[in-house]
């Protein structure tokens, strides 16, 4: 229930903030004592203060307040301040976030400013990068820095394999991979691969689609299919590692020649120089191989001005300052990021750098994913299709055709989701309120009519008056009591009752990102979301995963915790305090820390678990990347993390069992097992009910384990849980109505399981008595 309450509270907070926010009216900036607030993420947020001081020196009377935001919290923090109407003046913005926040009407359109500017003009920037700031024909962001993807390769290994130059076409790329592929020890297993490609990363896959003349919105087209089959062929032919081999450390693999090529961005140049100095002169970068084109992905970040900023002119002046060629060069030297302004590439630090200048050449042929607010949902679907084709044993052409046709249908549904039919929610609420008033009026009219025709009406009125007087007298006596409970009632109403009611109302609407921007886009659709839930294959997959996780995890955790509690309760055990503390430590450890430990344990190449299996002659497993073992791996980790809590509760229950019962049983000749079955377990019955109910509720809401361990539900949704699916729908894809319906379905499942457990245990207890 905690996950549902948290979800409801966050959802209603978002709703209330949306309802009460009043757009601020921009006013002209004063000439002095101006304060400009600038947000940036990650290392940029730390380093931008130096540029802010330079801006202050050029603009006396101006103070720039910079705020560094961690990348993993940036999206949620930006969304919160936008909905709350308290954004900064200027902010760094990821290119794939532009459409989402523009749909929320968070940004100030910049076309008018650009028309008056001499510093910022479209032709001064790379066209692919400029397009990332354009949403529905309006410019909302100015490119700050850029990045693109290139092919990193080992020159020395190419030479040994007889490859004379970097691959320039698809055919040459495939041929190079085949030449580099090796089975060195003759055991039938590939020991050296040609290239490393991710199994589910749209950012690496989509350039192949673009190179073949395809696009993201038509995956059922022949060009898209050909690109997908070409990409998947690297895995089918063992030219790219998958399974266990895919999880090896990138630097170690590149150093040893485990694979000789991979695709990455400009940040990798400095990292390789730092991490692998012994490879100096032995590696290089090359433009993406061509089919029809040699297109690569363009990323980076933009600078935006928020619509609620009261210092828009000063904010625009800061954007012009950051777009100056000299400042673009200075920023590159400071952070090693690639300039968005083309003139900055003439500087010797870029033009004379053997690696970086190739990135500049590639920037002439780049493309960004479509700037639409539904992109996160579409990208997630692309990753799922990639995993299905690459990891599934069924990769035949007809299977791919069906998969891509369904994929295209889902994309169309995602893009058109804001056009769903229904009654506008404001009209629905108005109609419902009118009908309620009409019903109340009719009720009082009828009751008053009956009184008028009743012969004993006067007597009844007198009785009612007497009852009312008595009621109000009792009410006066209860006023102090009501005042005492009023604070608790208000708090519970604000943070529990109202959120529950509001989230249920939201589940009857099609509220999505368009509704966050304009409530007139919210439609009342009745129980369509609930119907959609039960026709959603991912919901059924997540339900099965959740039930299996609970059915296997709860008994295993309870047995483990009970075993430890029984052992620690024995008198002969020494250092009890130490063991209790040690076993309880995982409970209070953060899931991130636990994930670091268990990722090492599950590492397919260096993990202790595979080492133990190999030492006794058993087969090794790719624990987290194999759909057959991923969920079981999470169950084992969850049991280890949670058993200490139940162990403490069982210890308390064991110590409440009278010792006289054990002594009597021993006198009667009971052995250790009989004592456990006939004394310990019956004595722990109330404790067992509590532990089982709480563990079941907790396991039914499992979320953190797949979120941090398996890339949020992968592979192939084999670890997707209902709570994680609900989170993705609500706070990643902004399908708030559908996410609310999922929350109530989960509530129903938890309620049903809890009710059945209590009834069954109660029935068993009554039978025993």
CA gap 219, 140 in Å, rounded: 29
| Mean pLDDT calculated for residue range 683-697 | 89
Q: Which of 118-127, 191-200, 295-304, 389-398 has the lowest mean pLDDT?
A: 389-398
Residue that is written with structure tokens 């046709």 in the block: 405
pLDDT at position 318 is 96
Burial class of residue 191 in the structure, from the number of CB atoms within 10 Å of its CB (0-12 exposed, 13-18 middle, 19+ buried): middle
pLDDT of residue 14: 47
**Tens digit of each residue's pLDDT (9 = 90 or more) over 459-480:** 666 666 666 667 667 767 777 8
pLDDT reported for residue 397 = 46
Average pLDDT over residues 253-263: 92
Task: Work out the average pLDDT over 292-314.
Answer: 94
* pLDDT tens by residue, 537-584: 999 999 999 999 999 999 999 999 999 998 888 877 788 888 888 889
Residue with tokens 């199994």: 199
Report pLDDT digits (tens) over 82-100: 888 889 999 999 998 999 8
**Cis upstream peptide for 200 (omega within 30°):** no
* Distances in whole angstroms, Cα of residue 41 to Cα of each of 91, 301, 394: 9, 10, 42
- Distance between first and last Cα of the chain: 32
pLDDT value at 16 more than 60: no
The pLDDT confidence band at residue 30, using thresholds 50, 70 and 90, is very low
Q: Please report the pLDDT score of residue 764 as a whole number.
A: 58
Instruction: Answer whether residue 288 shows pLDDT above 90.
Output: yes
Q: Looking at the DSSP assignment, which residues form a beta bridge with residue 154?
A: 283
Residue 507 has pLDDT above 50, yes or no: yes
Strands (E), 338-408: 338-339, 366-367
At a CB cut-off of 8 Å and minimum separation 6, what does 429 contact? Answer: none
Establish whether the linkage from the previous residue to 715 is cis, with ω within 30° of 0.
yes
DSSP states along 621-652: --TTTSTTTHHHHHHHHHHHHHHHHHHHHHHH
- Which tens digit of pLDDT belongs to each residue from 724-756? 999 989 888 888 899 999 999 989 988 888 888
Helices 325-335, 42-58: crossing angle, 10 deg rounding: 140
Mean pLDDT of 126-140: 93
Q: For the residues 366-382, what does the mean pLDDT come to?
A: 89
Residue 66 has pLDDT above 60, yes or no: yes
pLDDT greater than 50 at residue 685 = yes
Q: What is the predicted pLDDT for the residue at 129?
A: 93
Q: What is the mean pLDDT of the chain?
A: 85
């Amino acid at each position: 229930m905690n996950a549902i309450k948290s979800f409801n509270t966050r959802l209603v907070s978002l709703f209330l903030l949306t309802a009460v926010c009043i757009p601020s009216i921009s006013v002209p900036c004063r000439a002095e004592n101006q304060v400009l607030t600038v947000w940036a993420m990650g290392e940029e947020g730390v380093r931008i203060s130096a540029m802010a001081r330079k801006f202050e020196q050029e603009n006396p009377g101006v103070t720039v307040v910079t705020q560094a935001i961690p990348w993993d919290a940036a999206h949620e923090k930006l969304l919160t301040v936008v909905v709350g109407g308290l954004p900064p003046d200027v902010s760094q913005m990821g290119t794939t976030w532009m459409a989402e926040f523009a749909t929320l009407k968070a940004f100030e359109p910049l076309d008018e400013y650009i028309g008056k500017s001499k510093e910022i003009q479209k032709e001064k920037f790379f066209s692919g990068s400029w397009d990332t700031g354009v949403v529905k024909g309006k410019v909302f962001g100015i490119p700050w820095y850029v990045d693109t993807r290139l092919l990193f390769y080992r020159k020395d290994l190419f030479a040994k394999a007889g490859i004379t130059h970097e691959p320039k076409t698809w055919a040459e790329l495939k041929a190079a991979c085949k030449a580099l592929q090796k089975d060195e020890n003759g055991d039938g297993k590939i020991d050296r691969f040609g290239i490393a490609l991710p199994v589910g990363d749209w950012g690496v896959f989509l350039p192949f689609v673009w190179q073949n003349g395809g696009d993201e919105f038509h995956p059922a087209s022949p060009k898209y299919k050909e690109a997908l089959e070409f990409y998947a062929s690297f895995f089918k032919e063992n030219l790219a590692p998958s399974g266990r081999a895919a999880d090896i450390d990138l630097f170690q693999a590149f150093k040893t020649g485990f694979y000789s090529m991979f695709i990455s961005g400009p940040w990798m140049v400095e990292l390789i120089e730092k991490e692998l100095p012994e490879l100096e002169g032995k590696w290089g970068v090359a433009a993406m191989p061509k089919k029809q084109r040699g297109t690569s992905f363009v990323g980076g970040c933009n600078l935006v001005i928020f619509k609620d900023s009261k210092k828009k002119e000063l904010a625009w002046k800061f954007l012009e300052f950051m777009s100056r060629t000299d400042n673009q060069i200075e920023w590159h030297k400071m952070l090693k990021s690639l300039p968005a302004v083309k003139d900055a590439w003439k500087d010797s630090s870029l033009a004379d750098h053997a690696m970086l200048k190739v990135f500049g050449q590639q920037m002439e042929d780049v493309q960004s994913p479509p700037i639409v607010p539904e992109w996160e949902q579409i990208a997630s679907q692309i990753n799922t299709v990639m995993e299905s084709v690459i990891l599934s044993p069924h990769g035949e052409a007809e299977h791919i055709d069906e998969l891509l046709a369904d994929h295209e249908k889902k994309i169309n549904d995602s893009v058109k989701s804001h056009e769903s039919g229904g009654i506008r929610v404001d009209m629905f609420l108005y109609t419902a309120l009118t009908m309620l008033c009409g019903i109340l009026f009719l009720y009082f009219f009828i009751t008053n009519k009956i009184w008028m025709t009743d012969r004993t009406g006067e007597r009844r009125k007198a009785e009612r008056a007497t009852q009312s007087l008595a009621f109000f007298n009792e009410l006066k006596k209860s006023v102090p009591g009501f005042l005492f409970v009023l604070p608790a009632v208000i708090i519970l109403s604000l943070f529990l009752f109202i959120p529950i009611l509001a989230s249920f109302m939201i589940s009857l609407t099609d509220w999505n990102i368009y509704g966050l921007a304009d409530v007139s886009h919210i439609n009342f659709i009745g129980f369509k979301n609930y119907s959609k839930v039960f026709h959603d294959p991912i919901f059924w997959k997540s339900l099965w995963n959740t039930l299996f996780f609970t059915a296997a995890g709860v008994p295993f955790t309870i047995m483990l915790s009970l075993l430890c509690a029984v052992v620690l309760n024995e008198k002969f055990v020494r250092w009890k305090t130490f063991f209790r503390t040690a076993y309880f430590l995982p409970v209070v450890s953060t899931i991130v820390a636990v994930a670091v430990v268990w990722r090492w344990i599950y590492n397919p190449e260096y993990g202790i678990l595979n080492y133990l299996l190999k030492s006794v002659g058993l087969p090794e497993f790719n624990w987290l990347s194999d759909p057959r073992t991923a969920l079981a791996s999470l169950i084992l980790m969850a049991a280890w993390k949670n058993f200490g809590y139940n162990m403490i509760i069982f210890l308390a229950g064991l110590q409440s069992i009278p010792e006289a019962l054990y002594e009597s049983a021993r006198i009667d000749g009971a052995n250790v097992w009989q004592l456990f079955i006939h004394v310990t377990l019956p004595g722990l019955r109330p404790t067992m009910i509590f532990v089982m109910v709480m563990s079941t509720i907790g396991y039914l809401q499992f979320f953190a384990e797949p979120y941090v361990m398996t890339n949020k539900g992968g592979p192939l949704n084999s670890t997707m849980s209902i709570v994680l699916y609900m989170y993705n729908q609500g706070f990643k894809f902004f399908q708030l109505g559908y996410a609310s319906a999922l929350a109530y379905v989960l509530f129903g499942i938890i309620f049903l399981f809890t009710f059945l457990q209590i009834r069954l245990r109660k029935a068993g207890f009554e039978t025993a008595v």
